[in-house]
Amino acid sequence: MSSLFTPFSALPLRQTRATVSCCSSVSEFICNISPNITLGWGLTSRVVVAGHVSFIKEVAVTEPPTHLQHLLKVLQTRGETIISPGTKQGLIPLAIPLSKDSSGSVTALLRWPTAPPGLDMPVVEVWRSGVRLIARNVDEYIHRILVEEDAQEMSELYIASAEAGEKLYKKGAFAESQIDNLDVGLFPDVLEKKVLRHFDEGDHVSAMVTGEFYTRKDLFPGFGRPFVYYANILQKVGRDSEAKEAAREVASIAQWEDEQIEFIREKVSDEGRFEDLKKGKDPIQVALDVAAFLLDLASIEGTWSESLHHIAKCYEEAGLKDMSNFILYTDDK
């Protein structure tokens, strides 16, 4: 596959030294950085952001978040290393890596294959066989980081967020609110903490109400964890039949039994696809379904890399050539 974007190596922003040669494009500009002279934060920041913005536009073929620059600067300021968006080897192929922390955890954006207009790319944590939703979009994640810092009466990250911070959060607002904990906002871990707190207080009704709210399909579209979590809540209070019903809504197959996984393996086989087509199912939808099932199976077996070409072929068959190219792109080409 011909590359749409020239890859570049990870840029550790602290104490970065570089030489910049004349280039005809943003991609070349990034690639021609080599150790020699010190760059100030401003230029280094622009180099890194240009790389991610260019990648999102040219390879992921979608619009980058408005405040991506500020999120990258905040992540770097709190000690994470900004990495190339093309370092996707071994990760879910829908990821656009942003940074890596000292434990090796990668913060990334998730590029949905068929996102409806207006749906932001969520911020996620990714690893070899998993994805965890952190925030629904970049702005909400920046806002949360600044609130948590403000609660500790610190300002380093707020300063790093620059004009985005001023727009998204009023410094001192947490103290003014007189809220006694940080469990606020529409974040998966926050809602789960609220459920646990209700259980600790013996308030099972509030726990179930919060759990049901968690599963609203407009809150975290595309993620199956809310349904798994809600099913566990219902099971905990002895409502097994309702728990099974909630589990049927799960988009991820991480909780499925072996025979169900085998059923999906059959669905993604040539024979399974042919059966769906015989039943009159739209060929494009069949291809998209197979791609989604392959992603789910790979998440269980940790074989995303082995499934790349099959997944990419499905998206190409569905008419999503740009998505197919994005799936196959890695820096090691």
Report d(CA 142, CA 249) in Å as an integer.
30
Asked if 64 and 42 touch (Cβ cutoff 8 Å), the reply is no
Map residue 303 onto helix, strand or coil: coil
Number of neighbours of residue 118 by Cβ within 10 angstroms: 5
Number of neighbours of residue 241 by Cβ within 10 angstroms: 7
What domains appear along the chain, each with residue ranges and CATH number? 186-252 (1.25.40), 258-328 (no CATH)
pTM of structure: 0.79
Number of neighbours of residue 18 by Cβ within 10 angstroms: 16
**87 CA to centre of own chain:** 14
Reported in sequence order, the residue ranges of the chain that DSSP labels E, i.e. its strands, are 17-19, 34-38, 81-82, 95-100, 106-110, 123-127, 130-135
- In the chain (333 residues long), the average pLDDT of successive 10-residue segments reads 27 27 34 32 51 93 95 96 92 94 94 88 89 95 95 94 94 87 87 94 94 91 86 85 69 48 68 74 88 82 82 95 94 68
The CA R_g of the chain, rounded to the nearest whole Å, is 22
